[in-house]
Amino acid sequence: MNKKVWFYSLFFLVLIIGFYFMLTKIIPGFGKVSLPVLNKVQSFSFLDQDGERITNREVAGKVYIAEFFFTTCHGICPKLNTNLLAVYEKYKNEPDFLILSHTVDPSTDSVGRLKHYADSLGVDARHWIFLTGTKDSLYLAARASYLLDDPKNNFSPITEQFIHTQFFALVDKKGQVRSIIDGLEKNELNEMQHQIDELLKE
């Protein structure tokens, strides 16, 4: 390849790259891979750590992470909530972001117990909400709305079997599940934060 051909090839490559970056500035979302819509969150009604009723109406217009845990768990739950605490610290001043942590052991995790647990983490109830309700409604939300479950339970009735999952669901402002994240994997947690940033812009 002679110098003239090499020069023109390099020139057009730089021109194409420059044009691409110009489009990313002019056209919002250009060049970004949009997260798919995995599911629509069904209507729900639970009690938070302050005994207040929380429904899908209260979280409408918010980007949020849905988690399922229980306060007496000594396995993965402390690790999951330690990881979520780092996310909470990053976004605690973002008015359009929430974390919803649902208990999967409502017979133990009363409103008062969830309040004690939330206080032990030092979190603001306006941005990290702990929820309890009936077992059926909690398990239905986990499986039918957020698509979270242990794969071993796939063939059992939807409100049966104990849920113990390390996965989070990321929900957009329209109440749509856009991503499922492994809460124990650092690279997935880092990617989730990029996803949160994108969803907050939508």
- The pTM of this model reads 0.81
Cα–Cα distance between 179 and 192 in angstroms, integer?
8
pLDDT tens digits in sequence order for the chain, 202 residues long: 555 555 555 555 545 554 544 544 454 444 455 899 999 999 999 999 999 999 999 999 999 999 999 999 999 999 999 999 999 999 999 999 999 999 999 999 999 999 999 999 999 999 999 999 999 999 999 999 999 976 566 555 665 677 889 999 999 999 999 999 999 999 999 999 999 999 999 8
Q: How many CB atoms lie within 10 A of CB 17?
A: 10
Decide: 90 and 71 in contact? Cβ < 8 Å: no
* Contact criterion met (CB below 8 Å) for 201 and 185: no
Size (the chain), residues: 202
Q: Which CATH class is domain 39-201?
A: alpha beta
Bridge pairing between strands 53-55 and 128-131: unpaired
Domain-wise residue ranges, the chain: 1-32, 39-201
